[in-house]
Amino acid sequence: MLCFSATRATAAHRALRAYTTASASTFSNQSRLPRLPIPTLKDTATRYLRSLQPLLNPADYARSEKAVSEFIGPTGLGPVLQQRLQQVDAASPYSWLEDIWLKKAYLEWREPSYINVNWFAAIADNPDFPVTDETLAAQRVSAVQIARAARLVVHVLEFNDSLNRGELAPEMSRAGPLCMNQYKSQFGTTRIARETCDQIISQYPSTSKHFLLMYRDQPVSVPVYNASGERASLAQITAQIANAVKHVDELLATQPNSLPSVAQLTAGHRDDWTKGRALLEQDADNRKAFAVTDDALFGVSLDVHGEPEQIATPEGCAAAFCHSEAGRNRWYDKAFQLIVLRNGRAGVNGEHAPVDALTTGRIAMEAAMKERGPYKDSAPISGLSEPSVVHWNVPSDVVQIIDKVRGDSAKLAQNLRIRLGNANEFGASWIKTLGVSPDAFFQLALQVAYFRQHGRPAPTYETASLRAFLHGRTETIRSCTPEAWAFAKAFDDRDVKLGTKIQLLRQAVDAHIEYTRAAAAGQGVDRHLLGLRVQIQDEGEAARASLFADPAYIQSMSFAMSTSNVSPGDLFRGGFAPVIADGYGINYALDKNDLKFTVSDWVDSSATDAEQLRQSIYQTLADLHEAGEFAKSRN
């Protein structure tokens, strides 16, 4: 279930302690971080061709092998592009990939970033703020909703203060320090719709004095610091949120119809939003309004719309955190928003362009841990300004764009299907008794489950972090290895002995670990190929780029399963949309004794069915468990 209870925060505490060093300042390890390397053409070609083996028949593979050989050969375009990429690296202050990835993966994308780019997550239920269905009947803010929002806001502000002072503990992996630069783009950060390529504005230190509250589709500036930079107490923040709600209610009571929701545009096609914003920015008052929304530290959404049954179920909560019906009551361009529903359940929606989800996840996880138990409030501060509703002068042509976006957003939301899975007796502890990596094991379970449902291999994306490098973001683990495909085909084959299946499992796990390590070391396939491809300067060069002209290139990166591991997941659990029309988005978290996963697909795809895949994953896990137990009993 996505809306879930968590009484044990100890695992999350242990995980956080394991990856931080409290004695060091936030950015003290930055000088120790290496730059992201550029792989050799030969190494990338070798890994790329291996990733094609499960996907292609012999004739098509021979064609791709020839295309790759021509591309990296002495007369091919590959060496030219590699040299240009090396020049980009030499001119880049931190990383050759940083700007390329930001623009190509996010800012130049013109489809709605709402759902397509943004991710969502649930924060575990808190017994101090008991979930109740009594608040669902009336469409009004509940006391528990305001109280929980205020408590979460306090702890997020504590995080920001610690970050501003450089006191946030830097993160470490077992191999060494991790880059902390992404945290500079968390607070006071907004994506701005612009023609052809959006932009990101950000603050560090984040000195804004307010957060942006969304309530009944209206944005409100809620001050939480005074002019001296003193932070409001919990009691004051609670009162500020209550006053903001009151201001919106009073404003809308005077209107014969609801005010146009400029925030709705953040859920639209980026070109629609660009046009709408440009028209609004012609007005001086609107430019001031944008300064308020853009500079806000983060967003907080209090939802009161929708039918009670929509948030009475786990998947209804997931839908609310993901898209809120038709993109209502959100400012989707903020780096992250806290969301609190009428029944007290809480979640997060994150805009992916400036930071990766695990970075924002640390903020949410710390807030979730700290909101449990008693809180010793600070003394109230003086000079705290009143909340103020953000006012817009909305011309009729922008109203038309808002109406269009609302219709488009509703269709997109209705097209996304989300299914949640829990395997309560199946976790990392049992998997480790087999002597294999839990992450690799679940990735193999996905390969078997997909094959059982679809009868073919699935090009699969798993996220690997590059934060071991300066300004590192992510790389792709191509999980559908030849070894994984061999295991998936053999698992249900009665002519293959159990011992052979176990051997194939271990070979597939080893192959997955090898690719994972390579990706984390900056030796993956996808980012290097992207860096090379953007160096192509004209159509003539594009025709010479035999690797990219080969159909297998697009086929191999049309990821039928886009996956991400956010373990341990006891306080924070998420999901996201598929990356292709006929694909799945799969988020999962392996705790010690259970496994949670989220599967999404597009309803209008005749090739996918998230419910069937969920059931296939359940059955595959059960079958793997039975096979594993039997294999152990024979040893």
pLDDT grade for 314, boundaries at 50, 70 and 90: confident
Residue tagged 């809480």 (tokens) = 346
Cis peptide before 37 (omega within 30 of 0): no
What does the alpha-carbon distance between residue 124 and residue 107 come to, in Å, rounded to a whole number?
A: 31
Please state the rounded mean pLDDT for residues 13-23.
43
Residue tagged 């924060």 (tokens) = 123
Decide if pLDDT at 7 tops 60.
no
Token readout for 571 is: 């306080």
Q: How many CA atoms lie within 13 A of 307 on its CB side?
A: 4
**Continuous segment of H or E residues that includes residue 222:** strand 218-223
| CA distances (Å), origin 432, targets 12, 421, 582, 591, 619 | 19, 21, 33, 12, 20
Residue predicted with more confidence, 43 or 23 = 43
Cβ–Cβ < 8 Å for 317, 347: yes
Mean pLDDT check: name the lowest of 182-196, 529-543, 569-583. Answer: 569-583
Beginning with the edge strand found earlier in the chain, give each strand of the sheet holding 561-565 in spatial order.
416-423, 595-602, 584-590, 561-565, 460-465, 474-478
Per-residue pLDDT reduced to its tens digit, 201-246 = 999 999 999 999 999 999 999 999 999 999 999 999 999 999 999 9
The pLDDT mean for the chain works out to 93
How many residues are given for the chain?
635
Mean pLDDT check: name the lowest of 21-35, 77-91, 289-303. Answer: 21-35
Q: How many CA atoms lie within 13 A of 110 on its CB side?
A: 8
Please give the pLDDT value at position 14. 39
Residues 6 or more apart whose CB falls under 8 angstroms from that of 76 comprise 70, 544, 546
Cβ–Cβ < 8 Å for 5, 148: no
Domain 113-418 has CATH 3.40.50.2300: no
pLDDT grade for 136, boundaries at 50, 70 and 90: low
What does the alpha-carbon distance between residue 523 and residue 521 come to, in Å, rounded to a whole number?
A: 6
| CA distances (Å), origin 315, targets 96, 589, 600 | 40, 17, 11
Please give the pLDDT value at position 289. 98
Decide if pLDDT at 277 tops 90.
yes
Cis peptide before 74 (omega within 30 of 0): no
Burial 167-180 (b: 16+ CB within 10 A, else e): ebbbbeeeeebbbb
Please give the pLDDT value at position 256. 67
The amino acid present at 507, given as its one-letter code, is Q
Mapped onto helix, strand or coil, the DSSP state of residue 498 is helix
Domain ranges, ordered by start, for the chain: 39-102+424-634, 113-418
Residue tagged 């949640």 (tokens) = 420
What does the alpha-carbon distance between residue 124 and residue 368 come to, in Å, rounded to a whole number?
A: 7
Q: DSSP letter string over 6-45?
A: ----HHHHHHHHHTB-TTS-TTTTGGGPPPPPPPPHHHHH
Please give the pLDDT value at position 257. 72
What does the alpha-carbon distance between residue 361 and residue 365 come to, in Å, rounded to a whole number?
A: 6
Decide if pLDDT at 458 tops 90.
yes
Q: Which of 73, 482, 522 is nearest to 65 (CA)?
A: 73
Cβ–Cβ < 8 Å for 478, 514: no
Per-residue pLDDT reduced to its tens digit, 472-519 = 999 999 999 999 999 999 999 999 999 999 999 999 999 999 999 999
Decide if pLDDT at 132 tops 60.
yes
What does the alpha-carbon distance between residue 509 and residue 505 come to, in Å, rounded to a whole number?
A: 6
Q: Which long-range contacts (CB under 8 A, 24 or more apart) does 97-104 make?
A: 97/36, 97/466, 97/472, 97/473, 97/527, 97/531, 98/471, 98/473, 100/530, 100/531, 100/534, 101/473, 101/527, 101/530, 102/200, 102/353, 103/197, 104/530, 104/534
300 forms beta bridges with: 213, 338
Please give the pLDDT value at position 630. 74
- Which CATH code, of 3.90.180.10, 1.10.3720.10, 3.30.559.10, 1.20.1530.20, is assigned to 39-102+424-634? 3.30.559.10
Q: Which long-range contacts (CB under 8 A, 24 or more apart) does 13-22 make?
A: 13/369, 15/568, 16/362, 16/365, 16/366, 16/369, 19/171, 19/172, 19/173, 19/178, 20/169, 20/170, 20/171, 20/172, 21/169, 21/170, 21/172, 22/169
Token readout for 388 is: 């103020």
Please state the rounded mean pLDDT for residues 101-120.
96
Please give the pLDDT value at position 20. 45
Reported in sequence order, the residue ranges of 312-402 that DSSP labels E, i.e. its strands, are 336-340, 346-350, 388-389
Decide if pLDDT at 261 tops 60.
yes
Q: Which of 144, 113, 300 is nearest to 218 (CA)?
A: 300
Decide if pLDDT at 78 tops 60.
yes
**Continuous segment of H or E residues that includes residue 600:** strand 595-602
Residue tagged 């590699």 (tokens) = 82
Please give the pLDDT value at position 8. 34
C-alpha 540 chain-centroid distance: 37
Distance between first and last Cα of the chain: 36
Q: Which of 192, 190, 189, 188 is nearest to 208 (CA)?
A: 188
Please give the pLDDT value at position 293. 98
Per-residue pLDDT reduced to its tens digit, 372-406 = 888 999 999 999 999 999 999 999 999 999 999 99
Token readout for 104 is: 């190509």
219: left (phi over 0), alpha (psi -120 to 50) or beta: beta
Token readout for 188 is: 């006071």
DSSP 442: H
Please state the rounded mean pLDDT for residues 243-264.
91
What does the alpha-carbon distance between residue 290 and residue 17 come to, in Å, rounded to a whole number?
A: 39
Please give the pLDDT value at position 102. 97
What does the alpha-carbon distance between residue 556 and residue 465 come to, in Å, rounded to a whole number?
A: 21
Q: Would the CATH topology of 39-102+424-634 be identical to that of 113-418?
A: yes
Please give the pLDDT value at position 129. 85
